[in-house]
């Protein structure tokens, strides 16, 4: 049950047991996906489910909170035979008060913090849906999400981590070399696999091709650089593109707008 949406590209939802007539529709949301603009915050209340953020998978427990910045591939798997309940929020981080003072990407991960009781904030948001004018509610909504992010920044992440594997090594390498012209051939040498085998392995693990993942990763970085005041003519060189036209086409195909249409 979604209780509020279209808050300037943000969504607030409180989902209970999945009705049979909605099962197919809801299942489509569980395919591994990425948000190009929005971040996602999930607070798990009840049920049996697991969550995967780019190869890091965790069995969820009541009280778990997961934060996924934009650009991170993720999905949730749910045992529909059991009662299931969670809050899901997708929001545009630039509208959060004091967001510039937080390292949003560093907050990505799994949390379990009963002392801070983030659920109280979420129930308060739900209670106020429809009781305020749209502009007033949006101000309250973004201030509340900002409070949650601040609490997460003070809270230690869950220490249960997935063992190092090939996928996590590849993702770390890509992150460390985002400003370079990353070629599949270079990756194959780095990880001692032929390009075809490497592509197949990555696609199997991530449900997306290496080429598409690298492109999306660079475009997310480009978007953030634009918001920081960098010029498009600077950014294509910073991100390792050989010419502006290639960068421009990638940006438009990702965001359906030109780099110069991004507003700070």
CATH of residue 236's domain is 1.10.10.60
Please tell me whether residues 144 and 191 are part of one structural domain. no
CA 149/CA 67 separation, integer angstroms: 9
| Predicted TM-score (pTM) above 0.95 | no
Please tell me whether residues 18 and 122 are part of one structural domain. yes
CATH of residue 122's domain is 2.60.120.280
Q: What is the CA radius of gyration of the chain?
A: 19
Please tell me whether residues 137 and 16 are part of one structural domain. yes
The pLDDT value given to residue 9: 67
CA distance to 1, 109, 162, 164, 172, per residue, from 169 (Å): 38, 17, 12, 7, 5
Q: Which of 154, 185, 203 is the last residue of a domain?
A: 154
Q: Is residue 160 part of a domain?
A: no
Q: Which of 154, 178, 212 is the last residue of a domain?
A: 154
pLDDT by 10s per residue, the chain, length 264 = 667 776 766 889 998 876 555 555 555 456 788 888 889 999 999 999 999 998 788 899 999 999 999 889 999 988 888 888 999 999 988 888 776 667 788 888 899 866 667 899 999 999 998 888 888 888 999 999 999 998 888 888 775 544 447 888 899 899 999 999 999 998 999 988 899 999 999 988 888 899 999 999 999 999 989 988 999 999 999 999 999 999 999 999 999 999 999 976
Please tell me whether residues 224 and 122 are part of one structural domain. no
Q: Is residue 19 part of a domain?
A: yes
Quickly list DSSP for 119-171.
HHHHHHHHHHTTSS-HHHHHHHHHHHHHHHHHHHHHSPPP---PPP-HHHHHH
CA 25/CA 48 separation, integer angstroms: 19
């Amino acid at each position: 049950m979604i209780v509020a949406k279209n808050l300037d590209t943000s969504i607030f939802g409180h989902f209970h047991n999945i009705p049979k007539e909605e099962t197919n529709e809801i299942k489509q949301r569980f395919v591994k996906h990425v948000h190009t603009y929005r971040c996602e915050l999930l607070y798990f209340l009840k049920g049996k489910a697991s969550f995967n953020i780019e190869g890091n998978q965790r069995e969820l427990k009541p009280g778990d909170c997961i934060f996924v910045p934009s650009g991170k591939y993720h999905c949730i798997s749910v045992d529909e035979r059991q009662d299931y309940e969670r809050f899901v929020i997708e929001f545009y981080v630039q509208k959060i008060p004091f967001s510039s003072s937080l390292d949003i990407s560093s907050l990505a991960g799994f949390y379990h913090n009963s002392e801070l009781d983030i659920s109280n904030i979420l129930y308060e948001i739900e209670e106020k849906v429809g009781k305020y004018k749209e502009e007033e509610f949006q101000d309250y909504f973004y201030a509340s999400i900002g409070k949650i992010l601040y609490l997460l920044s003070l809270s230690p992440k869950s220490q249960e981590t997935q063992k190092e594997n090939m996928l996590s090594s590849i993702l770390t390498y890509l992150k460390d070399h985002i400003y370079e012209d990353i070629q599949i051939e270079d990756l194959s040498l780095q990880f001692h696999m032929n390009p075809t085998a490497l592509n197949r392995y990555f696609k199997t693990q991530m449900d997306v091709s290496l080429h598409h993942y690298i492109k999306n990763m660079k475009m997310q970085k480009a978007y953030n650089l634009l918001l920081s005041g960098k010029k498009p003519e600077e950014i294509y060189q910073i991100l390792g593109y050989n010419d502006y036209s290639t960068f421009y086409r990638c940006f438009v195909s990702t965001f359906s707008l030109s780099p110069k249409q991004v507003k700070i």
